[in-house]
Structure 1
């Protein structure tokens, strides 16, 4: 999958998705090539923000707290993608859609990319800017889920697919909120 194709996946039900569905990469290859490297990005950005702008984000937070936060966030990320893949697969089965774990994992991993990339905004010490970009990442993740579910599950857009899509978005939004809560820990730590 090319980076230029990825941008089309935000707005298309077929461009990029059909190619990915045909290639059928394994969950392990997605983990090694996409999930693990991009999961490290927020961790590194949290450590950077803590060391460079720590006093801005949490005036009383020590660097050891930032390190603990980065580790906790990484563990949460490692649990979130496979959990979302499992949820997508279970919902697909419940809606009698063709599903396998590899396709569900691919969709969960691809949908998480904008949220991982939004961590780059931690180069700028501005809570409002960081939040705006995080919400933009969430909106882009929802667009990827919206367009990816029919393609990856081999179903046409119908009422069942629509319901499943919105449920995945709600659950994913909840997971995102939990990850944000982990990141907000410096504001409540002493």
Structure 2
């Protein structure tokens, strides 16, 4: 699997997803090799931004307890992976789409990667850059969910059931992401 193939995941159908599925990655492997390292990016970069940029980045940004916030954020991200894997499988099963736990957790591990990577924008002390990066990350995450559902459940491009399941998963994902961001700003 090449970097080029991985970059096509949000825009491609069965090809790359089938290859990922063929790798037969276990849930513990996904958790330790994909989720844990990628989940570290936002807390570390948020801590860096919070302790280095201060109020120049955003009013009230310097007054937060960044050690506590970023620790809670990291733990919440890990919990979210396990909940989303379960939710993806439950939604797909409810829509009569067969998916294994392993495939559901594969999608739960791959889909948030653009959001995790969008935290790299925190290296630039400009709020607009971070907001744009998050918007692009959300778009790409939603595209990954759609392509993943279609490919892992072997649905065609025009399948209304696959689209419906995708919207439900995206709504739950956005709700989870919104709760994580609200936690950051509440503390």
Q: TM-score, normalised by structure 1?
A: 0.90
**2:88, 2:38 → 1: CA distance?**
21
Q: Which runs of 5+ in 1 are unaligned?
A: none
Contact 1:13–1:147 (8 Å) recurs in 2: yes
Work out the CA distance in 2 between the residues paired with 1:183 and 1:116: 15
Q: 2: CA distance between counterparts of 1:60 and 1:92?
A: 43
- Checking the alignment, whether the CA contact within 8 Å between 1:21 and 1:103 is kept in structure 2 is yes
Which has the higher mean CA deviation after the structures are superposed, 38-47 or 147-156? 147-156
Q: Aligned to 2:125, what secondary structure does the other structure show?
A: coil
1:138 aligns with 2:144: no
Shift in Å at residue 161 of structure 1?
Answer: 1.0
1:111 and 2:111 are equivalent in the alignment: yes
**Structure-2 separation of matches of 1:107 and 1:98:** 14
Of residues 49, 56, 63, the one that matches 1:61 is: 63
Following the alignment from structure 2 to structure 1, what is the Cα–Cα distance between the partners of residues 61 and 8?
41
CA RMSD of aligned residues (A): 1.6
| Pair 1:102 & 2:112 matched | no
Q: How does 1:72-87 map to 2 (within 5 A)?
A: 72-87=72-87
- Does structure 2 conserve the Cα–Cα contact (< 8 Å) formed by 1:21 and 1:151? no
Pairing 1:19–2:38 present: no
* Offset, 1:3: 2.4
- Over residues 25-71 of structure 1, what are the superposed CA-to-partner deviations in whole Å (9 max), with x where a residue is unaligned? 11111111110000011111011112211233335515xx0111101
Distance (whole Å) between structure 1 residues aligned to residue 39 and residue 153 of structure 2? 25
Alignment of 1:141-152 (within 5 A): 141-152=141-152
1:124 CA drift (Å):
1.4
Matched, 1:175 2:176: yes
* Count of matched residue pairs: 184
Q: TM-score scaled by structure 2?
A: 0.91
**Change beyond 3 A, Cα 1:2–1:28:** farther
User: What secondary structure does 2:132 align onto?
Assistant: helix
- Structure 2 unmatched ranges of 5 or more: none
Q: Relative to 1, partners in 2 of residues 1:74 and 1:59: Cα closer, same or farther, differing over 3 Å?
A: closer
